[in-house]
Structure 1
Amino acid sequence: MSRLHWRTALRLLALTFLITLIPEANGYSPFMNNRHGSFSKAPENGTSEHLASPYIAPGGLAALGSKQANKDSFATSQGKNAFEVIYQWKVIDFLYPSLQARNNAIRSRAFIPENNLPLGVDRFKNRIFITTPRWNPGVPATLSYLPLPVQDQSLPLIPYPDWSFHTTPQNADCSKLVSVYRIYVDECDRLWVLDAGVIDTLTNLQQVCPPKLLAFNLHT
Protein backbone atom coordinates (compact mmCIF):
# COMPACT_ATOMS: atom_id res chain seq x y z
CA MET A 1 0.00 0.00 0.00
CA SER A 2 1.34 3.45 -0.90
CA ARG A 3 2.20 6.12 1.65
CA LEU A 4 -0.88 8.07 0.54
CA HIS A 5 -3.14 5.11 1.17
CA TRP A 6 -1.67 4.64 4.67
CA ARG A 7 -2.33 8.27 5.51
CA THR A 8 -5.90 8.01 4.22
CA ALA A 9 -6.53 4.88 6.29
CA LEU A 10 -5.18 6.53 9.46
CA ARG A 11 -7.35 9.59 8.92
CA LEU A 12 -10.46 7.44 8.48
CA LEU A 13 -9.61 5.52 11.66
CA ALA A 14 -9.17 8.76 13.63
CA LEU A 15 -12.44 10.13 12.27
CA THR A 16 -14.25 6.92 13.25
CA PHE A 17 -12.88 7.19 16.81
CA LEU A 18 -14.02 10.81 17.13
CA ILE A 19 -17.51 9.95 15.90
CA THR A 20 -17.65 7.20 18.51
CA LEU A 21 -16.86 9.70 21.30
CA ILE A 22 -19.45 12.28 20.23
CA PRO A 23 -22.75 11.72 22.13
CA GLU A 24 -25.89 11.31 20.14
CA ALA A 25 -28.72 13.79 20.34
CA ASN A 26 -30.30 11.95 23.27
CA GLY A 27 -27.12 12.16 25.34
CA TYR A 28 -25.94 8.58 24.83
CA SER A 29 -22.26 7.75 24.71
CA PRO A 30 -20.52 4.34 24.79
CA PHE A 31 -18.59 5.61 27.84
CA MET A 32 -21.84 6.26 29.74
CA ASN A 33 -23.77 3.03 29.53
CA ASN A 34 -24.30 0.04 31.74
CA ARG A 35 -21.57 -1.97 30.05
CA HIS A 36 -19.08 -0.08 32.19
CA GLY A 37 -20.92 -0.82 35.44
CA SER A 38 -20.83 2.74 36.73
CA PHE A 39 -23.02 4.75 34.41
CA SER A 40 -26.38 4.61 32.71
CA LYS A 41 -27.84 6.30 29.67
CA ALA A 42 -27.93 10.04 30.13
CA PRO A 43 -31.48 11.37 30.61
CA GLU A 44 -33.21 13.08 27.76
CA ASN A 45 -35.01 15.73 29.80
CA GLY A 46 -31.89 17.71 30.65
CA THR A 47 -31.75 16.81 34.36
CA SER A 48 -28.39 15.94 35.86
CA GLU A 49 -27.59 12.26 36.11
CA HIS A 50 -26.70 10.37 39.29
CA LEU A 51 -23.28 8.77 38.83
CA ALA A 52 -22.76 6.37 41.69
CA SER A 53 -19.23 5.16 41.04
CA PRO A 54 -15.87 6.92 40.66
CA TYR A 55 -14.75 7.85 37.18
CA ILE A 56 -11.79 9.62 35.68
CA ALA A 57 -12.69 13.24 35.11
CA PRO A 58 -10.55 16.00 33.63
CA GLY A 59 -7.96 16.82 36.25
CA GLY A 60 -8.12 13.61 38.28
CA LEU A 61 -10.25 10.99 39.99
CA ALA A 62 -13.72 12.07 41.13
CA ALA A 63 -16.66 10.29 42.76
CA LEU A 64 -19.90 11.94 41.82
CA GLY A 65 -23.21 11.68 43.64
CA SER A 66 -25.05 14.58 42.04
CA LYS A 67 -28.52 15.55 43.15
CA GLN A 68 -31.02 15.17 40.35
CA ALA A 69 -33.19 18.10 39.36
CA ASN A 70 -36.28 16.26 40.57
CA LYS A 71 -34.53 15.36 43.85
CA ASP A 72 -35.07 11.65 43.51
CA SER A 73 -31.57 10.41 44.32
CA PHE A 74 -31.47 7.62 46.89
CA ALA A 75 -29.97 9.71 49.70
CA THR A 76 -32.31 12.66 49.39
CA SER A 77 -35.57 11.09 48.25
CA GLN A 78 -37.26 11.87 51.56
CA GLY A 79 -35.40 15.08 52.28
CA LYS A 80 -33.51 13.30 55.07
CA ASN A 81 -29.99 12.08 55.71
CA ALA A 82 -29.13 8.51 54.78
CA PHE A 83 -28.45 7.70 58.46
CA GLU A 84 -30.11 8.67 61.70
CA VAL A 85 -28.02 8.96 64.87
CA ILE A 86 -29.52 6.93 67.70
CA TYR A 87 -26.81 7.18 70.36
CA GLN A 88 -23.51 9.02 70.41
CA TRP A 89 -20.84 9.74 73.00
CA LYS A 90 -17.77 11.87 73.36
CA VAL A 91 -16.61 9.29 75.90
CA ILE A 92 -18.49 6.12 76.81
CA ASP A 93 -19.69 5.80 80.40
CA PHE A 94 -21.31 2.97 82.37
CA LEU A 95 -24.21 2.97 84.80
CA TYR A 96 -22.62 2.09 88.15
CA PRO A 97 -24.63 1.21 91.27
CA SER A 98 -23.48 4.49 92.80
CA LEU A 99 -21.30 7.51 92.11
CA GLN A 100 -18.84 6.26 94.71
CA ALA A 101 -18.50 2.92 92.92
CA ARG A 102 -17.80 4.75 89.66
CA ASN A 103 -15.21 7.02 91.27
CA ASN A 104 -13.51 4.04 92.90
CA ALA A 105 -13.34 2.27 89.52
CA ILE A 106 -11.75 5.31 87.90
CA ARG A 107 -9.31 5.75 90.77
CA SER A 108 -8.19 2.10 90.56
CA ARG A 109 -8.14 2.29 86.75
CA ALA A 110 -10.66 -0.51 86.48
CA PHE A 111 -12.56 2.05 84.41
CA ILE A 112 -10.65 4.21 81.93
CA PRO A 113 -13.41 5.99 79.98
CA GLU A 114 -11.36 6.82 76.88
CA ASN A 115 -10.35 3.15 76.44
CA ASN A 116 -13.92 1.97 75.85
CA LEU A 117 -14.90 1.56 72.21
CA PRO A 118 -18.10 -0.11 70.93
CA LEU A 119 -18.04 -2.82 68.27
CA GLY A 120 -21.00 -5.21 68.00
CA VAL A 121 -24.63 -4.12 68.07
CA ASP A 122 -28.06 -5.73 67.76
CA ARG A 123 -31.62 -4.90 68.74
CA PHE A 124 -34.43 -6.73 70.49
CA LYS A 125 -37.74 -4.90 70.91
CA ASN A 126 -37.11 -1.96 73.24
CA ARG A 127 -33.42 -2.67 73.88
CA ILE A 128 -30.28 -2.21 71.83
CA PHE A 129 -27.29 -4.36 72.79
CA ILE A 130 -23.71 -3.13 72.46
CA THR A 131 -20.35 -4.84 72.93
CA THR A 132 -17.18 -3.19 74.23
CA PRO A 133 -14.30 -5.66 73.77
CA ARG A 134 -11.35 -5.45 76.13
CA TRP A 135 -8.92 -4.10 73.55
CA ASN A 136 -7.29 -1.97 76.23
CA PRO A 137 -7.22 -1.91 80.03
CA GLY A 138 -10.03 -0.12 81.84
CA VAL A 139 -13.10 -1.77 80.28
CA PRO A 140 -15.38 -2.65 83.22
CA ALA A 141 -18.14 -4.43 81.26
CA THR A 142 -18.01 -5.99 77.80
CA LEU A 143 -21.73 -6.43 77.00
CA SER A 144 -24.34 -3.76 77.70
CA TYR A 145 -27.70 -2.46 76.58
CA LEU A 146 -29.60 0.80 76.22
CA PRO A 147 -33.33 1.51 76.10
CA LEU A 148 -35.43 2.33 73.05
CA PRO A 149 -36.95 4.69 72.13
CA VAL A 150 -34.11 7.11 72.81
CA GLN A 151 -34.58 9.67 75.56
CA ASP A 152 -30.98 10.89 75.78
CA GLN A 153 -28.40 10.23 73.05
CA SER A 154 -25.51 9.95 75.52
CA LEU A 155 -26.82 7.58 78.18
CA PRO A 156 -24.31 5.44 80.11
CA LEU A 157 -24.19 1.78 79.09
CA ILE A 158 -26.06 -0.66 81.32
CA PRO A 159 -24.10 -3.92 81.79
CA TYR A 160 -26.03 -7.00 80.61
CA PRO A 161 -27.45 -9.02 82.23
CA ASP A 162 -25.91 -7.14 85.19
CA TRP A 163 -22.54 -6.35 86.75
CA SER A 164 -22.20 -9.81 88.31
CA PHE A 165 -21.85 -11.44 84.87
CA HIS A 166 -18.64 -9.53 84.05
CA THR A 167 -15.27 -10.69 85.32
CA THR A 168 -12.36 -8.49 86.28
CA PRO A 169 -9.31 -8.97 84.04
CA GLN A 170 -6.91 -9.20 86.98
CA ASN A 171 -8.58 -12.33 88.41
CA ALA A 172 -10.44 -13.68 85.41
CA ASP A 173 -13.43 -15.91 86.15
CA CYS A 174 -13.95 -17.91 82.98
CA SER A 175 -17.58 -18.65 83.85
CA LYS A 176 -18.28 -14.94 83.31
CA LEU A 177 -17.98 -12.60 80.34
CA VAL A 178 -14.41 -11.65 79.48
CA SER A 179 -14.29 -9.86 76.11
CA VAL A 180 -17.33 -9.96 73.83
CA TYR A 181 -16.86 -9.08 70.18
CA ARG A 182 -19.96 -10.08 68.24
CA ILE A 183 -23.61 -10.62 69.14
CA TYR A 184 -26.71 -11.78 67.27
CA VAL A 185 -30.41 -11.92 68.14
CA ASP A 186 -32.11 -14.88 66.42
CA GLU A 187 -35.75 -15.56 65.53
CA CYS A 188 -36.24 -17.46 68.79
CA ASP A 189 -35.44 -14.34 70.82
CA ARG A 190 -32.06 -15.56 71.97
CA LEU A 191 -29.00 -13.36 72.21
CA TRP A 192 -25.93 -15.21 70.95
CA VAL A 193 -22.68 -13.90 72.41
CA LEU A 194 -19.18 -14.62 71.11
CA ASP A 195 -16.61 -14.16 73.89
CA ALA A 196 -12.98 -14.25 72.71
CA GLY A 197 -11.58 -14.69 76.23
CA VAL A 198 -8.72 -12.26 75.56
CA ILE A 199 -7.80 -8.96 77.20
CA ASP A 200 -5.58 -6.01 76.28
CA THR A 201 -5.69 -7.01 72.61
CA LEU A 202 -4.02 -3.81 71.39
CA THR A 203 -1.44 -3.41 74.13
CA ASN A 204 -0.45 -6.74 75.70
CA LEU A 205 -2.57 -9.58 74.32
CA GLN A 206 -3.42 -12.20 76.93
CA GLN A 207 -5.65 -15.25 76.45
CA VAL A 208 -6.98 -15.46 80.01
CA CYS A 209 -9.90 -17.80 79.21
CA PRO A 210 -10.90 -20.14 76.37
CA PRO A 211 -13.20 -18.61 73.74
CA LYS A 212 -16.86 -19.42 74.33
CA LEU A 213 -20.27 -19.02 72.74
CA LEU A 214 -23.20 -18.19 75.02
CA ALA A 215 -26.94 -17.83 74.45
CA PHE A 216 -29.23 -15.67 76.61
CA ASN A 217 -33.00 -16.02 76.67
CA LEU A 218 -34.20 -12.45 76.19
CA HIS A 219 -37.56 -13.20 77.82
CA THR A 220 -35.99 -13.96 81.20
Structure 2
Amino acid sequence: MSRFHWRTALRLLALTFLIAMVPEANGYSPFMNNRHGSFSKAPENGTSEQLASPYLAPGGLAALGSKKANKDSFATSQGKNAFEVIYQWKVIDFLYPSLQARNNAIRSRAFIPENNLPLGVDRFKNRIFITTPRWNPGVPATLSYLPLPVQDQSLPLIPYPDWSFHTTPQNADCSKLVSVYRIYVDECDRLWVLDAGVIDTLTNLQQVCPPKLLAFNLHTDELLFS
Protein backbone atom coordinates (compact mmCIF):
# COMPACT_ATOMS: atom_id res chain seq x y z
CA MET A 1 0.00 0.00 0.00
CA SER A 2 1.41 3.43 -0.88
CA ARG A 3 2.47 6.00 1.71
CA PHE A 4 -0.59 8.06 0.80
CA HIS A 5 -2.81 5.12 1.61
CA TRP A 6 -1.10 4.70 4.97
CA ARG A 7 -1.61 8.37 5.79
CA THR A 8 -5.29 8.13 4.91
CA ALA A 9 -5.66 4.96 6.96
CA LEU A 10 -4.01 6.58 9.97
CA ARG A 11 -6.34 9.56 9.67
CA LEU A 12 -9.31 7.21 9.72
CA LEU A 13 -8.01 5.38 12.77
CA ALA A 14 -7.43 8.69 14.52
CA LEU A 15 -11.07 9.58 13.97
CA THR A 16 -12.09 6.74 16.26
CA PHE A 17 -10.50 8.59 19.18
CA LEU A 18 -11.82 12.07 18.40
CA ILE A 19 -15.27 13.41 19.26
CA ALA A 20 -16.13 16.99 18.37
CA MET A 21 -18.56 18.54 20.81
CA VAL A 22 -21.32 20.98 19.85
CA PRO A 23 -22.33 23.59 22.48
CA GLU A 24 -25.93 23.31 23.70
CA ALA A 25 -26.69 20.31 21.47
CA ASN A 26 -29.79 18.37 22.49
CA GLY A 27 -29.81 14.60 22.32
CA TYR A 28 -28.07 11.61 23.85
CA SER A 29 -25.52 9.08 22.74
CA PRO A 30 -23.86 6.65 25.17
CA PHE A 31 -20.49 7.44 23.60
CA MET A 32 -20.75 11.24 23.61
CA ASN A 33 -21.55 12.29 27.18
CA ASN A 34 -25.09 13.53 26.52
CA ARG A 35 -24.08 15.51 23.44
CA HIS A 36 -23.62 14.74 19.78
CA GLY A 37 -20.50 15.24 17.68
CA SER A 38 -20.09 17.16 14.46
CA PHE A 39 -17.63 17.67 11.63
CA SER A 40 -17.37 20.01 8.66
CA LYS A 41 -17.05 19.11 5.01
CA ALA A 42 -14.95 21.21 2.64
CA PRO A 43 -16.56 24.44 1.35
CA GLU A 44 -18.52 24.05 -1.86
CA ASN A 45 -19.44 27.16 -3.88
CA GLY A 46 -18.64 29.32 -0.87
CA THR A 47 -20.83 27.26 1.43
CA SER A 48 -19.58 24.83 4.04
CA GLU A 49 -21.63 21.97 5.43
CA GLN A 50 -21.45 20.73 8.98
CA LEU A 51 -22.87 17.28 9.74
CA ALA A 52 -23.92 16.08 13.16
CA SER A 53 -23.16 12.51 14.11
CA PRO A 54 -26.24 10.36 14.68
CA TYR A 55 -27.68 10.70 18.16
CA LEU A 56 -30.77 9.84 20.16
CA ALA A 57 -33.06 12.85 20.16
CA PRO A 58 -35.76 13.55 22.75
CA GLY A 59 -38.70 11.18 22.34
CA GLY A 60 -36.49 8.25 21.34
CA LEU A 61 -35.82 9.39 17.78
CA ALA A 62 -32.55 8.44 16.12
CA ALA A 63 -31.59 11.54 14.14
CA LEU A 64 -29.06 12.91 11.65
CA GLY A 65 -28.43 16.63 11.54
CA SER A 66 -26.99 18.99 8.96
CA LYS A 67 -26.16 22.67 8.88
CA LYS A 68 -25.11 24.77 5.89
CA ALA A 69 -23.75 28.24 6.46
CA ASN A 70 -21.42 30.85 5.04
CA LYS A 71 -18.79 32.38 7.33
CA ASP A 72 -21.00 35.24 8.53
CA SER A 73 -24.04 33.16 9.42
CA PHE A 74 -21.89 30.47 11.03
CA ALA A 75 -20.36 33.05 13.35
CA THR A 76 -23.78 34.18 14.56
CA SER A 77 -24.90 30.60 15.24
CA GLN A 78 -22.11 29.72 17.68
CA GLY A 79 -23.51 28.39 20.94
CA LYS A 80 -26.89 27.54 19.41
CA ASN A 81 -28.31 24.22 18.27
CA ALA A 82 -28.55 25.29 14.63
CA PHE A 83 -28.57 21.81 13.11
CA GLU A 84 -31.50 20.84 10.94
CA VAL A 85 -32.76 17.26 11.24
CA ILE A 86 -32.48 15.59 7.84
CA TYR A 87 -33.37 12.01 8.83
CA GLN A 88 -35.06 10.65 11.93
CA TRP A 89 -36.59 7.36 12.99
CA LYS A 90 -38.61 6.04 15.89
CA VAL A 91 -37.31 2.61 14.85
CA ILE A 92 -34.72 2.05 12.14
CA ASP A 93 -35.72 -0.15 9.21
CA PHE A 94 -33.78 -1.62 6.28
CA LEU A 95 -34.68 -1.90 2.61
CA TYR A 96 -35.05 -5.64 2.04
CA PRO A 97 -35.37 -7.21 -1.43
CA SER A 98 -38.99 -8.06 -0.61
CA LEU A 99 -41.54 -7.81 2.18
CA GLN A 100 -41.33 -11.58 2.62
CA ALA A 101 -37.55 -11.38 3.15
CA ARG A 102 -38.08 -8.68 5.79
CA ASN A 103 -40.78 -10.68 7.57
CA ASN A 104 -38.60 -13.80 7.53
CA ALA A 105 -35.72 -11.83 9.06
CA ILE A 106 -37.98 -10.54 11.84
CA ARG A 107 -39.38 -14.02 12.55
CA SER A 108 -35.88 -15.52 12.76
CA ARG A 109 -34.68 -12.53 14.82
CA ALA A 110 -31.99 -11.77 12.27
CA PHE A 111 -33.62 -8.33 12.28
CA ILE A 112 -34.73 -6.85 15.62
CA PRO A 113 -35.70 -3.27 14.69
CA GLU A 114 -35.35 -1.74 18.17
CA ASN A 115 -31.75 -3.04 18.47
CA ASN A 116 -30.46 -0.96 15.55
CA LEU A 117 -28.78 2.34 16.43
CA PRO A 118 -26.67 4.58 14.16
CA LEU A 119 -23.16 5.77 15.02
CA GLY A 120 -20.86 6.92 12.19
CA VAL A 121 -21.90 9.25 9.37
CA ASP A 122 -20.30 10.85 6.31
CA ARG A 123 -21.48 12.26 3.00
CA PHE A 124 -20.44 11.92 -0.62
CA LYS A 125 -22.33 13.90 -3.26
CA ASN A 126 -25.97 12.74 -3.20
CA ARG A 127 -25.58 10.00 -0.59
CA ILE A 128 -25.16 9.99 3.16
CA PHE A 129 -23.49 6.94 4.71
CA ILE A 130 -24.44 5.57 8.13
CA THR A 131 -23.01 2.82 10.33
CA THR A 132 -25.05 0.56 12.61
CA PRO A 133 -22.59 -1.43 14.74
CA ARG A 134 -23.65 -4.81 16.06
CA TRP A 135 -23.99 -3.70 19.68
CA ASN A 136 -26.92 -6.08 20.11
CA PRO A 137 -28.34 -9.07 18.21
CA GLY A 138 -30.67 -8.41 15.30
CA VAL A 139 -28.59 -5.97 13.20
CA PRO A 140 -28.85 -7.24 9.61
CA ALA A 141 -26.50 -4.72 7.95
CA THR A 142 -23.77 -2.62 9.54
CA LEU A 143 -23.09 -0.04 6.78
CA SER A 144 -25.83 1.67 4.78
CA TYR A 145 -26.66 4.80 2.83
CA LEU A 146 -29.58 7.11 2.14
CA PRO A 147 -30.23 9.49 -0.78
CA LEU A 148 -29.88 13.26 -0.73
CA PRO A 149 -31.73 15.57 -1.00
CA VAL A 150 -34.20 14.19 1.51
CA GLN A 151 -37.67 13.26 0.29
CA ASP A 152 -38.83 11.29 3.33
CA GLN A 153 -37.19 11.73 6.75
CA SER A 154 -37.74 8.12 7.80
CA LEU A 155 -36.57 6.06 4.84
CA PRO A 156 -35.30 2.52 5.45
CA LEU A 157 -31.51 2.17 5.33
CA ILE A 158 -30.05 0.75 2.11
CA PRO A 159 -27.17 -1.69 2.84
CA TYR A 160 -23.88 -0.61 1.23
CA PRO A 161 -22.66 -1.64 -1.26
CA ASP A 162 -25.43 -4.28 -1.15
CA TRP A 163 -26.73 -7.11 1.02
CA SER A 164 -24.07 -9.55 -0.22
CA PHE A 165 -21.29 -7.61 1.56
CA HIS A 166 -22.84 -8.16 5.02
CA THR A 167 -22.20 -11.37 6.92
CA THR A 168 -24.50 -12.98 9.45
CA PRO A 169 -23.14 -13.08 13.02
CA GLN A 170 -23.52 -16.87 13.15
CA ASN A 171 -20.69 -18.55 11.20
CA ALA A 172 -19.35 -15.12 10.29
CA ASP A 173 -17.62 -14.71 6.93
CA CYS A 174 -14.62 -12.52 7.81
CA SER A 175 -14.21 -11.36 4.21
CA LYS A 176 -17.49 -9.45 4.61
CA LEU A 177 -18.60 -6.58 6.86
CA VAL A 178 -19.15 -7.63 10.47
CA SER A 179 -19.55 -4.54 12.68
CA VAL A 180 -18.61 -1.13 11.29
CA TYR A 181 -18.07 1.72 13.72
CA ARG A 182 -16.42 4.61 11.87
CA ILE A 183 -16.25 5.72 8.23
CA TYR A 184 -14.39 8.47 6.38
CA VAL A 185 -14.69 9.88 2.85
CA ASP A 186 -11.28 11.09 1.66
CA GLU A 187 -10.24 13.62 -0.98
CA CYS A 188 -9.84 10.86 -3.59
CA ASP A 189 -13.52 9.87 -3.33
CA ARG A 190 -12.90 6.71 -1.37
CA LEU A 191 -14.94 5.52 1.57
CA TRP A 192 -12.71 4.13 4.33
CA VAL A 193 -14.46 1.68 6.64
CA LEU A 194 -13.27 0.59 10.09
CA ASP A 195 -14.73 -2.84 10.95
CA ALA A 196 -14.18 -3.95 14.56
CA GLY A 197 -15.11 -7.58 13.89
CA VAL A 198 -17.08 -7.83 17.15
CA ILE A 199 -20.74 -8.62 17.78
CA ASP A 200 -23.14 -8.23 20.71
CA THR A 201 -20.90 -5.58 22.26
CA LEU A 202 -23.42 -4.57 24.93
CA THR A 203 -24.75 -8.02 25.80
CA ASN A 204 -22.23 -10.81 25.16
CA LEU A 205 -19.09 -9.42 23.50
CA GLN A 206 -17.62 -11.78 20.92
CA GLN A 207 -14.63 -11.16 18.64
CA VAL A 208 -15.77 -13.26 15.69
CA CYS A 209 -13.32 -11.79 13.13
CA PRO A 210 -10.09 -9.76 13.26
CA PRO A 211 -10.52 -5.97 12.93
CA LYS A 212 -10.03 -4.73 9.40
CA LEU A 213 -9.84 -1.58 7.32
CA LEU A 214 -11.58 -1.41 3.93
CA ALA A 215 -11.81 1.18 1.17
CA PHE A 216 -14.49 1.55 -1.51
CA ASN A 217 -14.44 3.54 -4.75
CA LEU A 218 -17.46 5.81 -4.34
CA HIS A 219 -17.86 6.27 -8.10
CA THR A 220 -18.21 2.54 -8.76
CA ASP A 221 -18.86 1.13 -5.24
CA GLU A 222 -16.04 -1.33 -5.92
CA LEU A 223 -13.99 -2.66 -3.00
CA LEU A 224 -10.45 -1.33 -3.44
CA PHE A 225 -8.69 -2.44 -0.30
CA SER A 226 -9.27 -4.83 2.57
TM class, shorter-chain normalised?
0.5 to 0.7
Q: Residue 172 of structure 2 contacts residue 209 of structure 2 at CA under 8 Å; is this kept in 1? A: yes
Whole-Å separation in 1 of the counterparts to 2:139 and 2:55: 44
CA displacement 1:101-147 (0-9 Å, x = unmatched): 00000000000000000000000000000000000000000000000
RMSD of aligned residue pairs (Cα, Å): 20.2
Aligned length: 220
Q: Residue 48 of structure 1 contacts residue 66 of structure 1 at CA under 8 Å; is this kept in 2? A: no
Report the more deviating stretch, 11-20 or 61-70.
11-20
Q: Residue 178 of structure 1 contacts residue 195 of structure 1 at CA under 8 Å; is this kept in 2? A: yes
Q: State which structure, 1 or 2, has the greater radius of gyration over its C-alpha atoms.
A: 1
> Deviation of residue 37 (structure 1)?
23
Report the more deviating stretch, 61-70 or 144-153.
61-70
Classify 1:209/1:125 alpha carbon distance in 2 versus 1 (closer, same or farther; 3 Å).
same
Of structures 1 and 2, the one with the larger relative CO (CA 8 A, separation 6+) is 2
Whole-Å separation in 1 of the counterparts to 2:59 and 2:41: 23
Percent identical among aligned pairs is 97
Q: Residue 184 of structure 1 contacts residue 193 of structure 1 at CA under 8 Å; is this kept in 2? A: yes
Runs of 4+ in 1 over 4 A off after TM superposition: 1-81
Classify 1:147/1:204 alpha carbon distance in 2 versus 1 (closer, same or farther; 3 Å).
same
Classify 1:23/1:133 alpha carbon distance in 2 versus 1 (closer, same or farther; 3 Å).
closer
Classify 1:142/1:4 alpha carbon distance in 2 versus 1 (closer, same or farther; 3 Å).
closer
Q: Residue 191 of structure 2 contacts residue 215 of structure 2 at CA under 8 Å; is this kept in 1? A: yes
Gaps in structure 2 of 5+ consecutive residues: 221-226
Whole-Å separation in 2 of the counterparts to 1:6 and 1:215: 12
Q: Residue 62 of structure 2 contacts residue 118 of structure 2 at CA under 8 Å; is this kept in 1? A: no
Instruction: Please say if 1:57 is aligned against 2:57.
Output: yes
CA displacement 1:2-37 (0-9 Å, x = unmatched): 999999999999999999999999999999999999
Which TM-score applies when normalising by structure 2?
0.64
Whole-Å separation in 2 of the counterparts to 1:95 and 1:9: 30
> Deviation of residue 171 (structure 1)?
1.4
CA displacement 1:53-76 (0-9 Å, x = unmatched): 999999999999999999999797
Gaps in structure 1 of 5+ consecutive residues: none
- Whose strand fraction is larger, Structure 1's or Structure 2's? 2
Classify 1:137/1:72 alpha carbon distance in 2 versus 1 (closer, same or farther; 3 Å).
same
Whole-Å separation in 2 of the counterparts to 1:8 and 1:47: 25
Whole-Å separation in 2 of the counterparts to 1:19 and 1:91: 25
Q: Which residue of 1 aligns with 2:207?
A: 207
Classify 1:206/1:61 alpha carbon distance in 2 versus 1 (closer, same or farther; 3 Å).
closer
